[in-house]
Amino acid sequence: MRTFAALLANTAVANISTMFMWFGLTFWIYLETRNVLSTALIGAALMIFIALSSMFFGTLIDRFRKKPVMVWGTGIALAVFIADALFFFAMGEDAISDLSRPWFWIFAVVMLAGAVVEQLRGIAMSTAVTLLVPEEKHANANGAVGAVDGVSMLVTSVFSGLAVGYLGMGWTLVIGVTAVALAFAHLLTLRIDEPEVVGSGEAPTGWVDIRGGWRAVRAAEGLLFLVIFTTLNNFVGGVFMALMDPYGLELMTVQQWGFAFAFASTGFIVGGIVVSRTGLGANPTRTMLVLGAATGAVGMVFALRESLWLYIIGIWVYMALVPAIEAAEQTVIQKVVPYRQQGRVFGFAKTIEAAAAPVTSLAIGPIAEFLVIPRLRTPEGQAQWSWLLGEGDARGIALIFVGAGLVTVILGLGALLLPQYRVISRQYARADSSPDA
Protein backbone atom coordinates (compact mmCIF):
# COMPACT_ATOMS: atom_id res chain seq x y z
CA MET A 1 0.00 0.00 0.00
CA ARG A 2 2.94 2.32 0.61
CA THR A 3 4.17 1.68 -2.92
CA PHE A 4 0.66 2.28 -4.29
CA ALA A 5 0.42 5.59 -2.40
CA ALA A 6 3.79 6.76 -3.77
CA LEU A 7 2.81 5.76 -7.29
CA LEU A 8 -0.54 7.50 -6.92
CA ALA A 9 1.17 10.71 -5.77
CA ASN A 10 3.57 10.57 -8.71
CA THR A 11 0.68 10.03 -11.12
CA ALA A 12 -1.08 13.03 -9.59
CA VAL A 13 1.89 15.29 -10.31
CA ALA A 14 2.17 13.99 -13.87
CA ASN A 15 -1.56 14.45 -14.47
CA ILE A 16 -1.59 17.93 -12.98
CA SER A 17 1.31 18.98 -15.19
CA THR A 18 -0.29 17.63 -18.36
CA MET A 19 -3.76 18.97 -17.57
CA PHE A 20 -2.27 22.35 -16.64
CA MET A 21 -0.95 22.75 -20.17
CA TRP A 22 -4.08 21.23 -21.75
CA PHE A 23 -6.47 23.51 -19.84
CA GLY A 24 -4.20 26.42 -20.68
CA LEU A 25 -4.40 25.61 -24.38
CA THR A 26 -8.21 25.34 -24.27
CA PHE A 27 -8.67 28.60 -22.33
CA TRP A 28 -6.13 30.46 -24.43
CA ILE A 29 -7.51 29.53 -27.85
CA TYR A 30 -11.11 30.31 -26.87
CA LEU A 31 -10.10 33.71 -25.56
CA GLU A 32 -8.14 34.39 -28.74
CA THR A 33 -10.92 33.29 -31.10
CA ARG A 34 -14.23 33.23 -29.15
CA ASN A 35 -15.07 30.27 -31.36
CA VAL A 36 -16.90 27.26 -29.88
CA LEU A 37 -15.93 25.14 -32.87
CA SER A 38 -12.20 25.52 -32.13
CA THR A 39 -12.53 24.17 -28.57
CA ALA A 40 -14.80 21.35 -29.79
CA LEU A 41 -12.21 20.32 -32.38
CA ILE A 42 -9.41 20.34 -29.81
CA GLY A 43 -11.40 18.25 -27.33
CA ALA A 44 -12.50 15.82 -30.02
CA ALA A 45 -8.96 15.44 -31.33
CA LEU A 46 -7.72 14.46 -27.86
CA MET A 47 -10.32 11.70 -27.55
CA ILE A 48 -9.60 10.45 -31.08
CA PHE A 49 -5.89 10.19 -30.26
CA ILE A 50 -6.73 8.33 -27.03
CA ALA A 51 -9.03 5.93 -28.88
CA LEU A 52 -6.39 5.17 -31.51
CA SER A 53 -3.63 4.54 -28.99
CA SER A 54 -5.34 2.85 -26.01
CA MET A 55 -5.24 -0.70 -27.40
CA PHE A 56 -1.53 -0.31 -28.12
CA PHE A 57 -0.99 1.00 -24.58
CA GLY A 58 -2.96 -1.90 -23.08
CA THR A 59 -0.89 -4.43 -25.02
CA LEU A 60 2.33 -2.78 -23.82
CA ILE A 61 1.15 -2.98 -20.22
CA ASP A 62 0.44 -6.71 -20.51
CA ARG A 63 3.72 -7.36 -22.33
CA PHE A 64 6.06 -5.48 -19.96
CA ARG A 65 6.31 -4.64 -16.27
CA LYS A 66 4.39 -1.60 -15.11
CA LYS A 67 7.20 0.67 -13.97
CA PRO A 68 9.22 0.56 -17.22
CA VAL A 69 6.05 1.26 -19.20
CA MET A 70 5.27 4.26 -16.99
CA VAL A 71 8.84 5.53 -17.28
CA TRP A 72 8.78 5.25 -21.08
CA GLY A 73 5.43 7.01 -21.30
CA THR A 74 6.39 9.90 -19.02
CA GLY A 75 9.80 10.31 -20.67
CA ILE A 76 8.35 10.43 -24.17
CA ALA A 77 5.64 12.88 -23.07
CA LEU A 78 8.30 15.12 -21.51
CA ALA A 79 10.32 15.15 -24.75
CA VAL A 80 7.21 16.00 -26.79
CA PHE A 81 6.20 18.86 -24.48
CA ILE A 82 9.72 20.32 -24.61
CA ALA A 83 9.68 20.22 -28.41
CA ASP A 84 6.25 21.87 -28.50
CA ALA A 85 7.33 24.66 -26.13
CA LEU A 86 10.39 25.37 -28.28
CA PHE A 87 8.15 25.52 -31.37
CA PHE A 88 5.82 27.99 -29.61
CA PHE A 89 8.64 30.35 -28.71
CA ALA A 90 10.27 30.02 -32.14
CA MET A 91 7.06 30.94 -34.02
CA GLY A 92 5.75 33.55 -31.58
CA GLU A 93 2.38 33.83 -29.83
CA ASP A 94 0.74 35.99 -32.51
CA ALA A 95 1.51 33.50 -35.27
CA ILE A 96 0.39 30.51 -33.17
CA SER A 97 -2.98 32.10 -32.29
CA ASP A 98 -3.92 32.69 -35.96
CA LEU A 99 -6.25 29.81 -36.90
CA SER A 100 -5.95 30.62 -40.58
CA ARG A 101 -2.30 29.56 -40.54
CA PRO A 102 -0.96 26.04 -39.90
CA TRP A 103 1.15 26.93 -36.87
CA PHE A 104 -1.63 26.68 -34.28
CA TRP A 105 -2.70 23.27 -35.54
CA ILE A 106 0.87 21.98 -35.47
CA PHE A 107 1.27 23.33 -31.94
CA ALA A 108 -2.03 21.81 -30.79
CA VAL A 109 -1.43 18.40 -32.40
CA VAL A 110 2.04 18.08 -30.85
CA MET A 111 0.63 18.95 -27.42
CA LEU A 112 -2.11 16.41 -28.02
CA ALA A 113 0.53 13.78 -28.72
CA GLY A 114 2.20 14.46 -25.37
CA ALA A 115 -1.12 14.42 -23.52
CA VAL A 116 -2.09 11.12 -25.16
CA VAL A 117 1.17 9.42 -24.25
CA GLU A 118 0.58 10.47 -20.66
CA GLN A 119 -2.75 8.58 -20.83
CA LEU A 120 -0.67 5.41 -20.69
CA ARG A 121 -0.32 6.14 -16.98
CA GLY A 122 -4.08 5.88 -16.46
CA ILE A 123 -4.34 2.37 -17.92
CA ALA A 124 -1.23 1.28 -16.03
CA MET A 125 -2.66 2.61 -12.75
CA SER A 126 -5.83 0.53 -13.22
CA THR A 127 -3.75 -2.64 -13.46
CA ALA A 128 -1.45 -1.46 -10.64
CA VAL A 129 -4.47 -1.49 -8.32
CA THR A 130 -4.82 -5.22 -8.96
CA LEU A 131 -1.07 -5.73 -8.49
CA LEU A 132 -0.58 -3.70 -5.30
CA VAL A 133 -3.95 -3.61 -3.47
CA PRO A 134 -5.91 -6.50 -1.88
CA GLU A 135 -9.03 -7.44 -3.87
CA GLU A 136 -11.45 -6.40 -1.13
CA LYS A 137 -9.94 -2.88 -1.24
CA HIS A 138 -10.10 -2.41 -5.03
CA ALA A 139 -13.18 -0.19 -4.94
CA ASN A 140 -11.59 1.96 -2.25
CA ALA A 141 -8.34 2.26 -4.20
CA ASN A 142 -10.23 3.19 -7.36
CA GLY A 143 -12.02 5.86 -5.35
CA ALA A 144 -8.65 7.20 -4.21
CA VAL A 145 -7.56 7.39 -7.85
CA GLY A 146 -10.74 9.36 -8.57
CA ALA A 147 -10.00 11.74 -5.70
CA VAL A 148 -6.53 12.34 -7.12
CA ASP A 149 -8.07 13.09 -10.51
CA GLY A 150 -10.28 15.63 -8.77
CA VAL A 151 -7.30 17.28 -7.12
CA SER A 152 -5.66 17.46 -10.54
CA MET A 153 -8.71 19.17 -12.02
CA LEU A 154 -8.94 21.62 -9.13
CA VAL A 155 -5.29 22.64 -9.22
CA THR A 156 -5.05 22.88 -12.98
CA SER A 157 -8.30 24.80 -13.49
CA VAL A 158 -7.21 27.48 -11.01
CA PHE A 159 -3.63 27.79 -12.09
CA SER A 160 -4.28 27.40 -15.81
CA GLY A 161 -6.76 30.28 -15.66
CA LEU A 162 -4.38 32.42 -13.64
CA ALA A 163 -1.39 31.52 -15.79
CA VAL A 164 -3.12 32.22 -19.09
CA GLY A 165 -4.84 35.35 -17.76
CA TYR A 166 -1.80 36.94 -16.13
CA LEU A 167 1.31 35.29 -17.60
CA GLY A 168 0.26 34.14 -21.06
CA MET A 169 0.64 30.82 -22.83
CA GLY A 170 4.44 30.95 -22.92
CA TRP A 171 4.91 30.84 -19.15
CA THR A 172 2.13 28.26 -18.90
CA LEU A 173 4.26 25.96 -21.06
CA VAL A 174 7.42 26.61 -19.05
CA ILE A 175 5.71 25.81 -15.73
CA GLY A 176 4.03 22.68 -17.12
CA VAL A 177 7.16 21.24 -18.70
CA THR A 178 9.14 21.79 -15.49
CA ALA A 179 6.51 19.94 -13.43
CA VAL A 180 6.49 16.97 -15.86
CA ALA A 181 10.29 16.79 -15.56
CA LEU A 182 10.04 16.61 -11.76
CA ALA A 183 7.45 13.80 -11.96
CA PHE A 184 9.69 11.89 -14.35
CA ALA A 185 12.69 12.22 -12.01
CA HIS A 186 10.65 11.01 -9.03
CA LEU A 187 9.25 8.04 -10.96
CA LEU A 188 12.77 6.79 -11.61
CA THR A 189 13.30 6.44 -7.85
CA LEU A 190 10.22 4.26 -7.20
CA ARG A 191 10.50 0.49 -6.84
CA ILE A 192 7.58 -1.71 -7.85
CA ASP A 193 7.93 -5.44 -7.18
CA GLU A 194 6.18 -7.34 -9.94
CA PRO A 195 6.21 -11.02 -10.88
CA GLU A 196 6.56 -12.31 -14.42
CA VAL A 197 4.37 -10.32 -16.76
CA VAL A 198 2.54 -13.34 -18.23
CA GLY A 199 2.78 -16.20 -15.78
CA SER A 200 0.30 -18.42 -17.58
CA GLY A 201 -2.28 -18.35 -20.28
CA GLU A 202 -2.14 -16.56 -23.61
CA ALA A 203 0.53 -13.91 -24.15
CA PRO A 204 -0.23 -10.79 -26.19
CA THR A 205 0.02 -11.41 -29.93
CA GLY A 206 1.44 -8.41 -31.76
CA TRP A 207 1.82 -4.87 -30.52
CA VAL A 208 -1.86 -4.01 -30.87
CA ASP A 209 -3.63 -7.11 -29.58
CA ILE A 210 -7.23 -6.19 -30.41
CA ARG A 211 -8.18 -9.84 -30.81
CA GLY A 212 -6.80 -10.72 -27.37
CA GLY A 213 -8.64 -7.79 -25.78
CA TRP A 214 -11.90 -8.77 -27.47
CA ARG A 215 -11.57 -12.40 -26.36
CA ALA A 216 -10.84 -11.34 -22.78
CA VAL A 217 -13.89 -9.06 -22.72
CA ARG A 218 -16.13 -11.78 -24.16
CA ALA A 219 -14.75 -14.36 -21.72
CA ALA A 220 -16.19 -12.41 -18.78
CA GLU A 221 -19.92 -12.95 -19.17
CA GLY A 222 -21.79 -9.65 -19.40
CA LEU A 223 -18.68 -7.44 -19.44
CA LEU A 224 -19.34 -6.30 -23.00
CA PHE A 225 -22.62 -4.79 -21.77
CA LEU A 226 -20.67 -2.64 -19.33
CA VAL A 227 -18.34 -1.39 -22.07
CA ILE A 228 -21.23 -0.65 -24.44
CA PHE A 229 -23.13 1.30 -21.77
CA THR A 230 -20.07 3.42 -21.00
CA THR A 231 -19.55 3.99 -24.72
CA LEU A 232 -23.13 5.22 -25.20
CA ASN A 233 -22.81 7.38 -22.11
CA ASN A 234 -19.65 8.90 -23.58
CA PHE A 235 -21.53 9.84 -26.73
CA VAL A 236 -23.58 12.16 -24.55
CA GLY A 237 -20.54 13.16 -22.48
CA GLY A 238 -18.97 14.58 -25.63
CA VAL A 239 -21.59 17.34 -25.52
CA PHE A 240 -20.44 18.47 -22.10
CA MET A 241 -16.78 18.11 -23.12
CA ALA A 242 -17.31 20.44 -26.08
CA LEU A 243 -19.47 23.11 -24.44
CA MET A 244 -18.73 23.28 -20.70
CA ASP A 245 -15.73 25.64 -20.98
CA PRO A 246 -17.34 27.97 -23.58
CA TYR A 247 -20.45 28.29 -21.43
CA GLY A 248 -18.39 29.11 -18.35
CA LEU A 249 -16.30 31.66 -20.26
CA GLU A 250 -19.50 33.34 -21.47
CA LEU A 251 -20.52 33.93 -17.86
CA MET A 252 -17.19 35.16 -16.46
CA THR A 253 -13.54 36.01 -17.16
CA VAL A 254 -10.96 33.28 -17.64
CA GLN A 255 -9.52 33.93 -14.16
CA GLN A 256 -12.96 33.72 -12.57
CA TRP A 257 -13.81 30.59 -14.55
CA GLY A 258 -10.56 29.01 -13.37
CA PHE A 259 -11.56 29.54 -9.73
CA ALA A 260 -15.17 28.54 -10.39
CA PHE A 261 -14.13 25.30 -12.08
CA ALA A 262 -11.69 24.67 -9.24
CA PHE A 263 -14.51 24.89 -6.73
CA ALA A 264 -16.64 22.60 -8.88
CA SER A 265 -13.73 20.16 -9.08
CA THR A 266 -13.84 19.69 -5.32
CA GLY A 267 -16.94 17.61 -6.07
CA PHE A 268 -14.67 15.14 -7.87
CA ILE A 269 -12.47 15.00 -4.77
CA VAL A 270 -15.39 14.53 -2.40
CA GLY A 271 -16.88 11.83 -4.62
CA GLY A 272 -13.56 10.01 -4.80
CA ILE A 273 -13.07 10.20 -1.04
CA VAL A 274 -16.57 8.84 -0.40
CA VAL A 275 -15.86 5.86 -2.67
CA SER A 276 -12.44 5.29 -1.06
CA ARG A 277 -14.09 5.19 2.38
CA THR A 278 -17.36 3.35 1.69
CA GLY A 279 -16.77 1.38 -1.52
CA LEU A 280 -19.42 0.85 -4.19
CA GLY A 281 -21.82 -1.55 -2.53
CA ALA A 282 -22.47 -5.19 -3.33
CA ASN A 283 -23.31 -4.47 -6.98
CA PRO A 284 -21.03 -1.82 -8.56
CA THR A 285 -22.83 -2.16 -11.90
CA ARG A 286 -26.13 -1.02 -10.38
CA THR A 287 -24.32 1.87 -8.71
CA MET A 288 -22.84 2.84 -12.06
CA LEU A 289 -26.17 2.87 -13.93
CA VAL A 290 -28.15 4.70 -11.25
CA LEU A 291 -25.51 7.40 -10.85
CA GLY A 292 -25.17 7.67 -14.62
CA ALA A 293 -28.86 8.57 -14.82
CA ALA A 294 -28.35 11.03 -11.97
CA THR A 295 -25.62 12.88 -13.89
CA GLY A 296 -28.05 13.30 -16.77
CA ALA A 297 -30.65 14.80 -14.45
CA VAL A 298 -28.09 17.26 -13.10
CA GLY A 299 -26.96 18.14 -16.63
CA MET A 300 -30.54 19.06 -17.53
CA VAL A 301 -30.72 21.58 -14.66
CA PHE A 302 -27.40 23.43 -14.27
CA ALA A 303 -27.92 25.77 -17.24
CA LEU A 304 -31.70 26.28 -17.09
CA ARG A 305 -31.04 29.87 -16.08
CA GLU A 306 -28.02 32.00 -16.91
CA SER A 307 -26.91 31.88 -13.29
CA LEU A 308 -23.30 31.59 -12.24
CA TRP A 309 -24.08 29.80 -8.98
CA LEU A 310 -26.59 27.41 -10.52
CA TYR A 311 -23.96 26.38 -13.06
CA ILE A 312 -21.13 25.99 -10.53
CA ILE A 313 -23.19 24.04 -8.00
CA GLY A 314 -24.60 21.86 -10.78
CA ILE A 315 -21.11 21.03 -12.05
CA TRP A 316 -20.04 20.28 -8.46
CA VAL A 317 -22.81 17.70 -8.06
CA TYR A 318 -22.12 16.30 -11.54
CA MET A 319 -18.43 15.83 -10.74
CA ALA A 320 -19.18 14.33 -7.32
CA LEU A 321 -21.01 11.49 -9.10
CA VAL A 322 -18.38 10.78 -11.75
CA PRO A 323 -15.69 9.06 -9.56
CA ALA A 324 -18.13 6.35 -8.45
CA ILE A 325 -19.20 5.70 -12.05
CA GLU A 326 -15.61 5.35 -13.25
CA ALA A 327 -14.53 3.33 -10.21
CA ALA A 328 -17.44 0.92 -10.70
CA GLU A 329 -16.33 -0.11 -14.18
CA GLN A 330 -12.71 -0.50 -13.07
CA THR A 331 -13.70 -2.54 -10.00
CA VAL A 332 -15.77 -4.96 -12.06
CA ILE A 333 -12.98 -5.46 -14.61
CA GLN A 334 -10.37 -5.96 -11.90
CA LYS A 335 -12.44 -8.76 -10.36
CA VAL A 336 -13.78 -10.66 -13.39
CA VAL A 337 -10.71 -10.42 -15.71
CA PRO A 338 -7.43 -12.27 -14.97
CA TYR A 339 -4.56 -9.92 -14.12
CA ARG A 340 -2.44 -11.05 -17.08
CA GLN A 341 -5.15 -9.77 -19.47
CA GLN A 342 -6.24 -6.61 -17.72
CA GLY A 343 -4.03 -4.24 -19.72
CA ARG A 344 -5.63 -5.36 -22.96
CA VAL A 345 -9.14 -5.25 -21.49
CA PHE A 346 -8.67 -1.75 -20.09
CA GLY A 347 -7.07 -0.73 -23.39
CA PHE A 348 -9.92 -2.25 -25.40
CA ALA A 349 -12.54 -0.55 -23.22
CA LYS A 350 -10.70 2.77 -23.44
CA THR A 351 -10.49 2.47 -27.23
CA ILE A 352 -14.21 1.90 -27.66
CA GLU A 353 -15.31 4.36 -24.99
CA ALA A 354 -12.95 7.17 -26.00
CA ALA A 355 -14.03 6.90 -29.64
CA ALA A 356 -17.58 7.90 -28.69
CA ALA A 357 -17.02 11.38 -27.23
CA PRO A 358 -15.19 12.94 -30.22
CA VAL A 359 -17.96 11.85 -32.59
CA THR A 360 -20.46 13.83 -30.52
CA SER A 361 -18.04 16.68 -29.94
CA LEU A 362 -17.25 17.08 -33.63
CA ALA A 363 -20.96 17.00 -34.42
CA ILE A 364 -22.13 19.29 -31.62
CA GLY A 365 -19.50 22.00 -32.24
CA PRO A 366 -20.80 23.00 -35.69
CA ILE A 367 -24.43 22.43 -34.65
CA ALA A 368 -24.00 24.72 -31.65
CA GLU A 369 -21.96 27.38 -33.48
CA PHE A 370 -24.02 27.66 -36.67
CA LEU A 371 -27.54 26.49 -35.78
CA VAL A 372 -28.62 26.35 -32.13
CA ILE A 373 -26.75 29.35 -30.67
CA PRO A 374 -27.75 31.78 -33.48
CA ARG A 375 -31.35 30.56 -33.30
CA LEU A 376 -31.62 31.07 -29.55
CA ARG A 377 -30.20 34.60 -29.88
CA THR A 378 -33.04 35.70 -32.15
CA PRO A 379 -36.23 37.19 -30.62
CA GLU A 380 -38.23 34.28 -32.05
CA GLY A 381 -35.92 31.65 -30.58
CA GLN A 382 -35.84 33.31 -27.17
CA ALA A 383 -39.62 33.59 -27.10
CA GLN A 384 -39.99 29.92 -28.04
CA TRP A 385 -37.71 28.60 -25.27
CA SER A 386 -37.80 31.26 -22.54
CA TRP A 387 -40.44 29.28 -20.59
CA LEU A 388 -37.82 26.57 -20.02
CA LEU A 389 -34.43 28.30 -20.32
CA GLY A 390 -35.07 31.89 -19.29
CA GLU A 391 -33.21 34.63 -21.12
CA GLY A 392 -29.56 35.31 -21.90
CA ASP A 393 -26.90 35.11 -24.58
CA ALA A 394 -25.93 31.47 -23.86
CA ARG A 395 -29.41 29.91 -24.08
CA GLY A 396 -28.40 27.90 -27.14
CA ILE A 397 -25.75 26.01 -25.17
CA ALA A 398 -28.26 25.56 -22.33
CA LEU A 399 -30.76 23.91 -24.69
CA ILE A 400 -28.11 21.43 -25.84
CA PHE A 401 -27.26 20.60 -22.20
CA VAL A 402 -30.93 19.84 -21.49
CA GLY A 403 -31.19 17.50 -24.47
CA ALA A 404 -27.96 15.68 -23.63
CA GLY A 405 -29.00 15.25 -20.00
CA LEU A 406 -32.35 13.77 -20.97
CA VAL A 407 -30.66 11.19 -23.20
CA THR A 408 -28.33 10.24 -20.32
CA VAL A 409 -31.26 9.67 -17.94
CA ILE A 410 -32.95 7.40 -20.48
CA LEU A 411 -29.73 5.42 -21.02
CA GLY A 412 -29.06 4.85 -17.32
CA LEU A 413 -32.56 3.86 -16.28
CA GLY A 414 -33.19 1.86 -19.45
CA ALA A 415 -30.03 -0.21 -18.93
CA LEU A 416 -31.33 -1.39 -15.54
CA LEU A 417 -34.15 -3.19 -17.35
CA LEU A 418 -31.91 -5.19 -19.69
CA PRO A 419 -31.04 -8.88 -19.06
CA GLN A 420 -27.34 -8.13 -19.67
CA TYR A 421 -27.36 -6.01 -16.50
CA ARG A 422 -28.43 -9.03 -14.46
CA VAL A 423 -25.81 -11.21 -16.17
CA ILE A 424 -22.84 -8.97 -15.30
CA SER A 425 -24.19 -8.51 -11.78
CA ARG A 426 -24.23 -12.29 -11.24
CA GLN A 427 -20.77 -12.63 -12.82
CA TYR A 428 -19.33 -10.08 -10.39
CA ALA A 429 -21.04 -11.68 -7.40
CA ARG A 430 -19.61 -15.15 -8.03
CA ALA A 431 -16.14 -14.16 -9.32
CA ASP A 432 -13.14 -15.06 -7.19
CA SER A 433 -10.01 -12.96 -6.96
CA SER A 434 -7.73 -13.45 -9.96
CA PRO A 435 -5.38 -16.25 -8.81
CA ASP A 436 -2.45 -14.94 -10.87
CA ALA A 437 -2.69 -11.47 -9.28
Query: What DSSP letter does each residue of 248-266 carry, written as one string?
Result: HHHHS-HHHHHHHHHHHHH
User: Is-contact 389 304, C-beta < 8 A?
Assistant: yes
Q: E strand or H helix at 427, and its extent?
A: helix 419-430
Q: What is the pLDDT of residue 177?
A: 92
- Which residues lie below 8 Å from residue 141, measured CB to CB, with a gap of 6+? 4, 129, 133, 276
Q: What is the pLDDT of residue 196?
A: 60
- Which residues lie below 8 Å from residue 304, measured CB to CB, with a gap of 6+? 310, 388, 389, 390, 398, 402
pLDDT per residue as tens, the chain (437 positions): 788 888 888 888 888 888 888 888 877 877 777 666 676 677 777 777 777 777 788 788 877 788 888 888 889 989 999 999 999 999 888 888 777 788 888 888 888 888 887 778 878 888 888 788 887 788 888 888 777 776 776 677 677 777 877 888 888 899 989 999 998 998 888 887 766 654 444 554 555 666 767 777 777 777 888 888 887 777 777 787 778 888 888 888 877 887 787 788 788 888 888 988 888 888 999 999 999 999 999 989 998 888 888 999 998 999 899 888 888 888 888 888 877 778 788 877 777 776 676 677 667 777 887 888 888 888 888 888 888 888 888 888 889 999 989 998 998 999 999 888 888 888 888 765 444 43
Can you identify the CATH homologous superfamily of domain 2-190+210-430? Answer: MFS general substrate transporter like domains (1.20.1250.20)
Residue ranges of the domains in the chain? 2-190+210-430
Buried b (16+ CB within 10 A) or exposed e, 145-163: bbbbbbbbbbbbbbbbbbb
Q: What is the pLDDT of residue 437?
A: 38
- Which residues lie below 8 Å from residue 95, measured CB to CB, with a gap of 6+? 101, 103
- C-alpha distances out from residue 35 to 32, 63, 164, 175, 200, Å: 8, 43, 17, 26, 53
Find the farthest-apart pair of alpha carbons in the chain and give their distance in angstroms, rounded: 68
Q: What is the pLDDT of residue 435?
A: 43
Least Cα distance to 130 among 322, 353, 337 occurs for 337
DSSP 3-state percent helix, strand, coil across the chain (nearest 5):
85, 0, 15
Q: What is the pLDDT of residue 436?
A: 45
| DSSP character at residue 202 | P
